[in-house]
Amino acid sequence: MASPFQLAHLEDAAARARAGDGYAARVLASDLLSVGVYVLAAGAEDTQTPHREDEVYYVVRGRSMFRAGAEAAAVGPGSLLFVTAGVDHRFFDVEEELVIVVFWAPPEKSVS
C-alpha cells in the first residue's frame, strides 16, 4: 500500500526524464493511480504505443500537435488530454520542448 501522502517536484522529475529515455515513471503512485512526467525535446519523435491503462495528459510547457485515433489537435501549456486504454496516440510536430504530467488509471505497470 502506498503512503497516504506523497510529494514530488516537477523540475526534479523532468530532469530525471531528460537524463533517461524522456519518461520518469511512477513519480507518484497508489493502488489506483500513478503519475509520471514525460519530456519531448523540440523536433523529437514520440514513439509510444497504445497502453492498457486510461491516461490523462497535462501539458505544463511546450507546444505540439497531438493525435489520438483519427483526431488531432494543437496542444500547449494548460491543455488537458484524455486517452482511452488501447487507443493509438502520440505527440507530433513538437515545436517547443514538451513537459507533460501523465496520470494513469489503473497505475502503469512497473518500468524496469
Task: Note whether residue 6 is domain-resident.
Answer: no
Gap between the Cα atoms of 101 and 16, Å rounded:
13
Tell me the pTM.
Answer: 0.94
Task: Note whether residue 11 is domain-resident.
Answer: no
**What residue numbers bound the domain in which 45 lies?**
25-105
Gap between the Cα atoms of 78 and 82, Å rounded:
13
- What is the per-residue pLDDT across 46-93, written as a single tens digit (0 to 9) for each? 999 999 999 999 999 999 999 999 999 999 999 999 999 999 999 999
Our CA angle for 14, 88, 57, nearest 5°, is 35
- What is the per-residue pLDDT across 15-32, written as a single tens digit (0 to 9) for each? 999 999 999 999 999 999
The predicted structure's pLDDT at residue 2: 75
Task: Note whether residue 9 is domain-resident.
Answer: no
